[in-house]
Amino acid sequence: MIPNPSPDRYDELIARETRHWDATADHDPGNPQLWDDPRLFELALARPYRHLIARTRTSGGPVLELGCGDGQLACDLARAGLMVTGIDLSEERVARARVRSRSLGLEQVARFVSGDLNMVPMPRGAYATVVAHDALHHILALDEVLDRARDALVPDGRLIVSDFVGAGLLEKLACAAAVAVLPTRQSYATKWRLRARARALFASEHGKRAALERGGAELHDASPFEGISQESILPHVAERFEIVEYFTFCPFWYHVMPKLRLPRVLREGIVRAFRHIDEPLNRRGVTRGSYCFIEARRRD
């Protein structure tokens, strides 16, 4: 068992994590992501996102969102008629979420608070649904957070998760080689300067946790809790809840596509063509995606 970092070390790490998310912009032109391109988002991520909203609507409110960020999901759920409370580590992002909700006239149904999810209390039996979108893989004390989330649910309440679970070593190697060799938004000189980040890409959850106290290149330099629990999400949820639905989506190599210097229509065409191959293989369990969707029922 890898020990947690000492209190002083934890304070240092969580401060770095907070600064990272405070400064995170909606879009980094030098390092574009799937969600920055509306067409790639639609092809790779939109259907699971809409499924998350639909399942949350069915489960009902009030809803607690863990890691609400700038409030996009919370406001989408509020527009669907649900009362939502969002919690996020970054006070800056919570402030932006409040601005978003006010601009949409949703401030009465979408409220936001800041707090460290690793230790923030959650009221018992207060929510019909707890939802987490791209949040759990950043949480160090995932087992404790899920215990509190379970207790925050009403009987038969639902936990709904859509989160990044990474990829295997061979997939990572292939994608890293593609980014290194092919022309991307970043110059070859910039990529060479960033080569030290490869250890964080290839590090396992165990390796990242082992580096928490001593430090090391296994940890993302700006976001030390990046991927700290991505391999534990499904087993920790399964220990505490009854799994109702589970699937993975979005192969890891899709994340390379927005970075390549290719015409947009060609990037879209490649993803569209391979999606017809990837999705059947995924459904048969031959491959798995880099994200998972989980709907789970509170186990009493």
User: Quick one: pLDDT at residue 1?
Assistant: 41
Using a pLDDT cut of 70, give the percent of the chain over it.
97
Which band of pLDDT confidence, cut at 50, 70 and 90, is reported for residue 48? very high
Whether the bond into 155 is cis, omega within 30 of 0: no
Q: Which domain holds residue 75?
A: 7-298
User: Quick one: pLDDT at residue 108?
Assistant: 94
pTM score above 0.85: yes
Which band of pLDDT confidence, cut at 50, 70 and 90, is reported for residue 46? very high
148 has a pLDDT exceeding 80: yes
Q: Which residue has the higher pLDDT, 167 or 287?
A: 167
Q: What value, to the nearest 5°, has the Cα angle with vertex 296 and ends 63 and 147?
A: 75
Q: Is residue 184 part of a domain?
A: yes
Q: Is residue 288 part of a domain?
A: yes
Q: Is residue 234 part of a domain?
A: yes
- Among the listed ranges 29-43, 82-96, 220-234, 262-276, which one has the minimum average pLDDT value? 29-43
Residue whose entry in the numeric block shows the structure tokens 């639902």: 158
Q: Is residue 198 part of a domain?
A: yes
- Farthest CA pair distance, the chain: 56
Which band of pLDDT confidence, cut at 50, 70 and 90, is reported for residue 27? low
Q: Is residue 196 part of a domain?
A: yes
Q: Domain of 210: which CATH number?
A: 3.40.50.150
Q: Is residue 242 part of a domain?
A: yes
Task: List the beta bridge partners of residue 132.
Answer: 66, 161
Mean pLDDT of the chain: 91
26 has a pLDDT exceeding 80: no
User: Quick one: pLDDT at residue 25?
Assistant: 62
- Among the listed ranges 16-20, 85-89, 246-250, 285-289, which one has the minimum average pLDDT value? 285-289
Q: SS3 sequence, 28-86?
A: CCCCCCHHHCHHHHHHHCHHHHHHHHHHHHHHCCCEEEECCCCCHHHHHHHHCCCCEEE
Q: Is residue 1 part of a domain?
A: no
Distance (Å, whole) CA 262 – CA 185 = 10
The mean per-residue pLDDT over the stretch 128-145 comes to: 96
Residues 6+ apart with CB under 8 A from 42: none
Domain count along the chain: 1
User: Quick one: pLDDT at residue 28?
Assistant: 63
Q: Is residue 44 part of a domain?
A: yes
Q: What is the pLDDT of residues 191-245, one digit of tens each?
A: 898 888 888 889 899 999 999 988 888 998 889 999 999 999 999 999 999 999 9
Which band of pLDDT confidence, cut at 50, 70 and 90, is reported for residue 275? confident
The mean per-residue pLDDT over the stretch 17-41 comes to: 82
The mean per-residue pLDDT over the stretch 129-133 comes to: 98
Q: SS3 sequence, the chain?
A: CCCCCCHHHHHHHHHHHHHHHHHCCCCCCCCCCHHHCHHHHHHHCHHHHHHHHHHHHHHCCCEEEECCCCCHHHHHHHHCCCCEEEEECCHHHHHHHHHHHHHCCCCCCEEEEECCCCCCCCCCCCEEEEEEECCHHHCCCHHHHHHHHHHHEEEEEEEEEEEECCCCHHHHHHHHHHHHHCCECCCHHHHHHCHHHHHHHHCCHHHHHHHHHHCCCCCCCCCCCCCCCCCCHHHHHHHHEEEEEEEEECCHHHHHHHHECCCHHHHHHHHHHHHHHHHHHHHCCCCCCCEEEEEEEECC
